[in-house]
Amino acid sequence: MGPPAEVRARLERAGQGHLLRFWPELGPAQRRSLLAALEPGLGEHCRLAAAACSRERGPLERLDGRMEPLPAELLGSARRSGPAALERWEAEGFHQISQNKVAVLLLAGGQGTRLGVSYPKGMYDVGLPSGKTLYQIQAERIQKVEQLAGQRYHRKCTIPWYIMTSEFTLGPTEEFFAEHDYFNLDKSNVIMFEQRMLPAVTFDGKAILEEKGKLAMAPDGNGGLYRALMDNKILDDMKQRGIQYVHVYCVDNILVKMADPVFIGFCVSKGADCGAKVVEKAYPTEPVGVVCLVDGVYQVVEYSEISLETAQQQSPDGRLMYSTGNICNHFFTVDFLQTVAQNFVAFEVLREEEFSPLKNADTADKDTPTTVRQSLLAQHYRWALKAGAKFVDENGCRIPEKLSLSGTEEPPAVCEISPLVSYFGEGLEVYMKNKDFCSPFILDENKAEMLRNS
């Protein structure tokens, strides 16, 4: 028996007749499931996907004439703000956390394909001395920031962790968290949900068969966040918990400050509905999106959408005019996620302190397990030196200090500091000042307790 005539006719009209070519070979159950996947909207989805591909691959509509940089009053900066302002924002952020009004939302729908693994990136071990995975580092940073807010305000604080997975990553992620006892977080405060899957489409707009009777599907990208929040009633859950502010980030950034009190406090102080953390572009042609205004609307403009001339334009102070590189690290009010209001701000942070993404296998030259491991260890080495630590090698010989490290340079001594001991370099003097440590050294909670008492 052939497929229903109206389905065949609809697919032929949409240029998707090839999806039925194995129909005679399919059993009844396979036929039913294929028909269920061939929704009426499939042709339109393929047409839009092909149009988007041709826009990306064809002559681009340049945005140069329609762009302007973010107004200075909307751009905060960790580097150019004085200590008083940073402390004020941090205090505001900790205050909101202490009121249980802050959640973090992790975008973790992608597999580690470019990394060369078939499991979710958060489960990846980048080769730190401790063997910690990205998920564990992030879980421990949540614990630490809850603890810091709690100590300040003498109360128990909770930061719920919402994890947006995809069909591919939900099962393995749930298993991994259960295996590790949720890294000592309360299971009820780790909420996993799935983003929608959409049919995968070739450049010329043809839906792809994964098997003879099965469409290939792919997660619908970070833009699918809003729909996933509604589909899974996540906004309702946030409201029930009294959450007002959400810090959204990507799984692959090893330096991410979970629920960053400074960033949250800055956004809240400015009355923002949404905010973006940015880093200064390293060089004009760096392939990162730039946060700016286009026709008066805030958006991220990809490097491919502007001319070299625009990318190289400089401000009077000699910095790049379009320097605010997007790092997929955002602040939203829960009301914004529901109604999309408009008060936007951006906050610039130092790349070497807050952004080092894991994207590729070690055969690539950037964003690899090696580069992210070096970023984290270089940061921890800087923190240790600042706290007054000295390092010696296995023979007890002093290792000369090196204060300025380039982003890809191995620190002279290996020192890994658990997030459970320090969230962002604070409070280390009590363990490290004027003490000698043998490299490699791991400062975890047990070691910290011993050092405090020694």
- Residues 6 or more apart whose CB falls under 8 angstroms from that of 147 comprise 157
The CATH number corresponding to 64-354 among 3.40.50.300, 1.10.10.60, 3.30.565.10, 3.90.550.10 equals 3.90.550.10
- Burial bucket for residue 450 (CB in 10 Å: 0-12, 13-18, 19+): exposed
End-to-end CA distance of the chain: 81
Cα→Cα distances 164→37, 194, 224, 232, 304, Å: 23, 6, 10, 10, 28
All CATH 2.10.10.100 domain ranges of the chain, comma separated, are 369-453
Model confidence over 147-175: pLDDT tens digits? 999 999 999 999 999 999 988 789 999 99
Query: 261: which 2 tokens?
Result: 């009190």
What distance lies between CA 415 and its chain's CA centroid? 25
What is the pLDDT tens value at each position of the chain, 454 positions in all?
A: 677 888 788 778 878 888 878 888 888 888 887 777 777 777 776 676 666 666 554 445 578 888 999 999 999 999 999 999 999 999 999 999 999 999 999 998 777 778 888 899 999 999 999 999 999 999 999 999 999 999 999 999 999 999 999 887 899 999 999 999 999 999 999 999 988 766 677 777 777 777 788 767 565 655 678 788 888 899 999 999 999 999 999 999 999 999 999 999 999 999 999 999 999 999 999 989 999 999 988 989 988 888 889 999 998 888 999 999 999 999 999 999 888 787 899 999 999 999 999 999 999 989 999 999 999 999 999 999 999 999 999 999 999 998 777 666 789 999 999 999 999 999 999 999 999 999 999 999 999 999 988 7
Peptide bond into 4 cis (omega under 30): no
All CATH 3.90.550.10 domain ranges of the chain, comma separated, are 64-354
Cα→Cα distances 201→215, 223, 245, Å: 10, 17, 36
Q: Which of 45, 327, 300, 20 is nearest to 196 (CA)?
A: 45
Query: 430: which 2 tokens?
Result: 């009590």
CA-CA distance, 119 to 173, in Å (whole number)? 9
CA-CA distance, 364 to 369, in Å (whole number)? 10
Rg (CA), the chain: 24
- What single DSSP character describes residue 256? -
- What single DSSP character describes residue 260? -
CATH topology for 369-453? Seminal Fluid Protein  PDC-109 (Domain B) (2.10.10)
Query: 148: which 2 tokens?
Result: 């810091």
